[in-house]
Amino acid sequence: MTEHPLRPLRRSPLYEEVVDRLREFIDVQQLKPGDRLMSEREITERLGVSRTSVRQALTALRVLGMVEIRHGDGIYLLRSPADLIPSLALEVLHSDADHPMIWEVREGIEPQAARLAARRRTDADLAAMADALEAMEASIAEGGEGVLADRHFHSSIIDAARNPLLRQLYDELADAVNRTSEASLSEGGRPPISLQGHLAVYEAIRRQDEELADQRMRHHLALCARSALRGDKPLRRAQA
CB atoms within 10 A of CB 233: 12
Claim to verify: residue 70 and residue 106 sit in the same structural domain: no
Residue 91 contacts residue 202 (beta carbons within 8 Å): no
Residue 101 contacts residue 95 (beta carbons within 8 Å): yes
Query: What domain count does the chain have?
Result: 2
Domain that holds residue 56: 15-83
Q: In the chain, what are the helix, strand and coil shares in percent, each to the nearest 5? A: 70, 5, 25
Percent residues over pLDDT 70 in the chain: 80
pLDDT in tens, 102-118: 888 889 899 999 999 99
Claim to verify: residue 142 and residue 68 sit in the same structural domain: no
pTM: 0.59
Claim to verify: residue 123 and residue 79 sit in the same structural domain: no
- Give the helix/strand (H/E) hosting 158: helix 147-161
Claim to verify: residue 117 and residue 202 sit in the same structural domain: yes
Per-residue confidence (pLDDT) for residue 1, from 0 to 100: 47
pLDDT in tens, 29-58: 888 889 999 999 999 999 888 888 888 888
Residue 122 contacts residue 160 (beta carbons within 8 Å): yes
